[in-house]
Structure 1
Amino acid sequence: MKIIKSSINRYLTLSVCGAILLSATTSCNSFKKLTNEQKGAIIGVGAGAAAGAAIGSKSKNPAVYAIIGSAVGGTAGVFIGRYMDKQAAKMKKDLEGVAEVERVGEGIKVTMKSGVLFGFDSYGLTQQSKDNLAKFAETLKTYEDTNILVAGHTDNVGTDSYNMKLSEKRANSVASFLNDYGVKRSRMSVIGYGESSPLAENTTESGREQNRRVELAIVANDQLKKDAKNGSSEVAQNK
């Protein structure tokens, strides 16, 4: 009982934020629909903006938006959060030196630097990234009750159309590799955002480097949400 109360305190704020966003827009009914409509979008005014502020300045980021937009909240959200905790800990080991793994609400945000994943102006994966992504794929297969947004981003060097195509190719390279290692393509939504969602200013090299990235948002699928709402002991034990 103490564990559940502690978990509720940890996830309650983010769960409420997700619930507010869900009530603010009908586009949050499904993960794939949400991410397709999220291209270049910014969380709106009123309650939605207040919810975004609680998450932080990165709430305009599509991966974060996808996570908070898919939240179910309540006790079910607590169960899902615990399921994600264990998964995120494993992913940090899988992707050490290649990516940053963050727990956000009821999901996981993974940020992969393009400089590690790809050569200059390339969408071919480096050997180092392949080794880590192979381990990452095994973890994704173990925790199979999730959907995955694979989002490609670039800096603003070059034309809009070129950057959009490059971001799509890089996101597809990551998704295809994971699929080759057994992660079902049906779990993944692959989207290129080009230069539309920067993390930092493009006026410096360090800023442009941050903006060149592939991000993954990992959220509960319908079955996991259903099990969590039903109080499944399997979900409570992180499967």
Structure 2
Amino acid sequence: MGMIRNAAVAAAGILALSACTTNPYTGERQVSKAATYGGGAAAVCGLVGAIDSSKHARNAALGCGLVGAGVGAYMDVQEAKLREQLQGSGVQVMREGDNLRLIMPGNITFQTDSYNLRPDFYSVLNSVGQVLSKYADTTLRVTGHTDNTGGQQHNQNLSERRAGSVADYLVTRQVERSRMLVQGMGFNQPIADNSSEQGRAQNRRVELYIIPKTI
């Protein structure tokens, strides 16, 4: 019984730490409501992994946490880990309901008019891949965007190839390609004014949407 009690305490402690998110602008730690509400269920589910260290048991515990703690809590943990891993990287992490959106600016991902990843961006994608491969109960939408400089077809092709480059690299980090929808939007979905260089720089980006699977 002592082993079980210790495992329960450890599981609850791990979840409590995971439930805290970091505000990327203030650096303050804050507790997620969704993770708090699901804490009891996830702690109990964590006993599966504590008693049996096999890969099967760890996956079962993770799935149990998704069901017991709820989708919101499952995404809270991913959000917290992504914010921690990507702090200072230039990648913006946004929460939209139960979905997450990573905005990867073109100035840190690609050279001008190229779809080859910058070598210094590999470490950032390594961090993203580490989280995505662990939390596999999500689907991923990788979308490329450009500014309006140049022709429409050229920008469409460039946006598709840039999204494909990000997706291809994530596959090398054990993120299954079957989870991904890869697409390019050219310059059709700007997030800033293309009439200024600052606006065009914001529009040149790859976005990664992380969407929880329905159960």
Aligning the two structures, in what range does the TM-score lie when normalised by the shorter sequence? 0.5 to 0.7
Kindly indicate whether structure 1 or structure 2 has the higher relative contact order, using CA contacts under 8 Å at least 6 residues apart: 1
Q: Say which one has the larger Rg.
A: 2
- Residue 142 (structure 2) aligns with: 150
- Residue 198 (structure 1) aligns with: 190
Tell me how far 1:103 sits from its aligned partner: 1.1
Q: Which moved more, 1:131-140 or 1:149-158?
A: 131-140
Which stretches in structure 2 are left out of the alignment for 5+ residues? 1-18, 20-32, 36-66
Maintained 8 Å contact 1:98/1:117: no
Tell me how far 1:95 sits from its aligned partner: 2.5
Question: Percent of counterpart pairs with the same letter?
Answer: 40
1:170 and 2:157 equivalent? no
- Residue 7 (structure 2) aligns with: none
Q: How large is the RMSD of aligned CA atoms in angstroms?
A: 2.0
Q: Distance in 2 between matches of 1:7 and 1:81?
A: 5
Q: Distance in 2 between matches of 1:112 and 1:182?
A: 20
- What letter corresponds to residue 78 of structure 2 in structure 1? Q
Q: Distance in 2 between matches of 1:81 and 1:155?
A: 34
Tell me how far 1:128 sits from its aligned partner: 1.8
Of 57, 75, 79, the residue aligned with 1:84 is: 75
TM-score for both structures, normalised by structure 2: 0.67
- What letter corresponds to residue 83 of structure 1 in structure 2? Y
The secondary structure found in structure 2 opposite 1:125 is: coil
Maintained 8 Å contact 1:133/1:178: yes
Tell me how far 1:80 sits from its aligned partner: 1.0
Tell me how far 1:215 sits from its aligned partner: 0.3
Task: List 4+ stretches of structure 1 deviating above 3 A.
Answer: none
Q: Distance in 2 between matches of 1:120 and 1:149?
A: 23
Q: How many residues align?
A: 152
* Structure 1 residues 186-226: Cα deviation after superposition (integer angstroms, max 9, x where no partner): 000000000000001100011101100000110112xxx21
TM-score for both structures, normalised by structure 1: 0.60
- Residue 111 (structure 2) aligns with: 119
- Residue 209 (structure 1) aligns with: 201
